[in-house]
Structure 1
């Protein structure tokens, strides 16, 4: 998965939530990438901070140590100053594994992996594990 953020654009939303469970129109939550020397993901409710990943230290996001590079996950950040873009790349070492990130209608970010045997998505991580996770 490759996300490219144009630093000249005002809107830097990476993911936008649904309005509710049955309405796929844009909801009130968005996940944005704060580009810079220490990139950071922030979920916003309307335009107010709701959750943040903590800065990237080259191995993991400080607020999310359980989702780190290694253990089959690879993350890269590339600041393309000459192009005015910032790239975030995520891949899984085992190409047979399907994984995706989802921003739910209630502001929770999920990492889901496909279980082919049971034909369903399993949640391997979520941003709002407890009420202490809220910004």
Structure 2
């Protein structure tokens, strides 16, 4: 009986009255029993799909949480670099002059920092940057 019900369910998840009566007669069941079996089977299918969707969303949430943590750390490192004391040189007349500011850009995919200085691009990895902060 179960195999025939499952096969019928794979073909049509809902039955019209004519199909329900024919299947009930074939299985020697009452039409109401076939109807209830199909209702329960649809409910189980929906529950399983909900569980699958929940797992997908859970993994997505974990990935986003990890990305958020990484970005927060990156932001903290960049703020620390920005807040670090600026190096100075002694200029004419023994005045201290700050060196020009450097623009830092971090590539999110390879996690390398590029600095733009006098139209030249220098690259440092995250580990090399952290030794200066």
* TM-score class, shorter: under 0.3
Which structure has the greater CA radius of gyration? 2
> Which structure has greater helix proportion?
2
> Which structure has greater strand proportion?
1
- TM-score scaled by length of structure 1: 0.23
Higher RCO, 1 or 2 (CA under 8 Å, sep at least 6)?
A: 1
- TM-score scaled by length of structure 2: 0.23
